[in-house]
Structure 1
Amino acid sequence: MNGADYDLSVTCTIAAPRATCWRVWTDRKEEWFCPKPWRAEVIEEDLRPGGRSAVQMFGPDGEETGPMEGVFLDVVPGERIVTTDAYAAGWVPQTPFMTAIWTFADEGQHTRFTATARHWDAEAKARHLEMGFHPGWDQMMAQFKALCEAAAG
C-alpha cells in the first residue's frame, strides 16, 4: 500500500501558462477556493515550508467552516504546493484529515493542474467522498480554470 491508495484527485488542462496559474493560486485564492455560492476568506497564507495556511469558508445561509488550519510542507514556485492539516502553525499537532497536493506542469502552451487530497486512511477518504468531494472539488477546479484563462486572455 502507498499514500496514493487514499487519494482523491481532480485535474484539468488550462489554456494559460504555468506562471499565470501560479499567480491565480497564490494571489486570488478567495475567488476560486470553494464552490460558489460559498465564499472563502484567506486568514493567512505564509507560502513557505512550515508557514501557516488558514482559510475560512462561508455559506450563503450563514454557514461557516473552520477555519481550515494547517501548514505548508513543500513549496516549489510554479510547480508544487503541499499543505497538511495534521499540524497548526508552529508544528502543533492536531487531528489530521488530509494532505493537499497542488501541482502545475507544462502541457504544450497550456498547464496541467492537479489537485489531490491524500487522506490518512480509507475511512477519511470515504468521509470526504460522502461530504461531496465531487462535485465540490470539480467546481473549484472549474472556477480556478476560468480565472486562469481570463487572466491569460
Structure 2
Amino acid sequence: MHELSISRFIAASPAKVWDVMTNRQGEWWCPKPWRAEVVVQERRAGGRASLTMYGPDGEVVPNEGIYLAWDEGRRFVTTDAVTADFVPAGPFMIGIWEVVPEGDGARYVASARHWTQEAMEQHAAMGFVDGWGACADQLQALCENESES
C-alpha cells in the first residue's frame, strides 16, 4: 500500500472529536490562511463528498468525490477516483479519517492511500506532512480549547 499518514492524540472525548471533525470542516480542513467550504456531504457509502478550498491569493481548489464508507462516530473514507453518480475521475487517493478512543481522549488518524508509489511521492513532495499536520493541529486546538458539549 502506498500510504501517507499522520496521527494526533487529542485530549477530548471521541464524540467531541468526531463532531468537530465532521461538522466543522471549514474551521480545520485546510492549513491557515487557506479555508474550506463544504458544498455537499451525503454521509453514506456512495454519497457525494464535495468541498472547495480557497487560498489567500484567490486560489480556488474544488474537491469532488464520493464516500466509500461512513462509520458514524468512528471514520469516514473518501476517494476522488469517482464523483457523484459514479462518474470515473482521475484518481489521486483514498482518504481515511478516523477517531479511536485512547485513554482519556481520542487518537485522530488521517491517511492518504495512493494507487502508485509515484503518486504517493508526489503527495509527500506537495507537503503532506506539514499540510495535513497543520490541519490535525487545528482540529486538536478546536477540540481541546472548548468545553465538552
Of 102, 111, 118, the match for 1:116: 111
Aligned residues with identical type, % of pairs: 48
Distance (whole Å) between structure 1 residues aligned to residue 73 and residue 93 of structure 2 = 22
2:137 corresponds in structure 1 to 142
2:16 corresponds in structure 1 to 20
Q: CA RMSD in A?
A: 1.0
Q: Is the 8 A contact 1:44 1:55 kept in 2?
A: yes
- Are 1:46 and 2:42 an aligned pair? yes
Distance (whole Å) between structure 2 residues aligned to residue 51 and residue 16 of structure 1 = 29
Distance (whole Å) between structure 1 residues aligned to residue 147 and residue 140 of structure 2 = 11
Unaligned runs of 5+ in 1: none
CA deviations on 1:49-76 (whole Å, 9 max, x unpaired) are 11111111111111111x1100001111
Q: TM-score, normalised by structure 1?
A: 0.93
2:7 corresponds in structure 1 to 11
C-alpha displacement of 1:78? 1.1
C-alpha displacement of 1:147? 0.8
Output the amino acid matched with 2:85: G
Of 73, 76, 79, the match for 2:71: 76
Q: Is the 8 A contact 1:70 1:87 kept in 2?
A: yes
CA deviations on 1:13-72 (whole Å, 9 max, x unpaired) are 00000110111011100000000001111111111111111111111111111x110000
Unaligned runs of 5+ in 2: none
C-alpha displacement of 1:152? 3.7
C-alpha displacement of 1:151? 3.1
